[in-house]
Amino acid sequence: MEDPRARALIEEFEFLDNWEERYTHVIELGKALEPLSPNEHVDGNKVKGCVSQVWLVSETRPGTPARLHFHADSDAHIVRGLAALLIRLISDRPADEILALDIKGVFEEIGLAENLSAQRSNGLAAMIARIRTVAEAAQ
């Protein structure tokens, strides 16, 4: 993976020996995620297709090119951690960079994709789809 952020995430997870350590690390990342304000926990920010409640908020930041900034929250620890990973990977990038990035491929290289339950995999796919929709609309 040539993207520097993707490479950094992949290398971070290479040091974790097994799925339990990776799972714990994902939960810790979620705990460190900045909380959303109460007015951001609204239906318009909910990600459809997730069993857990997930809120994903985006805003366009000025610049040339403009960059998309994301933040998120979830009522489930592991999903909140997955959202934290996504934010580290895609936030504050131009829309075209987000769309060009193989987000699912990064999660496969990290070793998370094959170890998630079907419900969590669907939730991750829903978050990625929402991010891509936001990026497409921003182009």
Annotated catalytic residues are 50
Q: What is the DSSP letter of 46?
A: B
Nearest to 73 by CA among 101, 94, 52, 59: 52
17-46 in b/e burial notation, b at 16+ Cβ within 10 A?
A: eeeeebbebbbebbeebeebeeeeeeeebe
Q: Are 57 and 40 in contact (CB under 8 A)?
A: yes
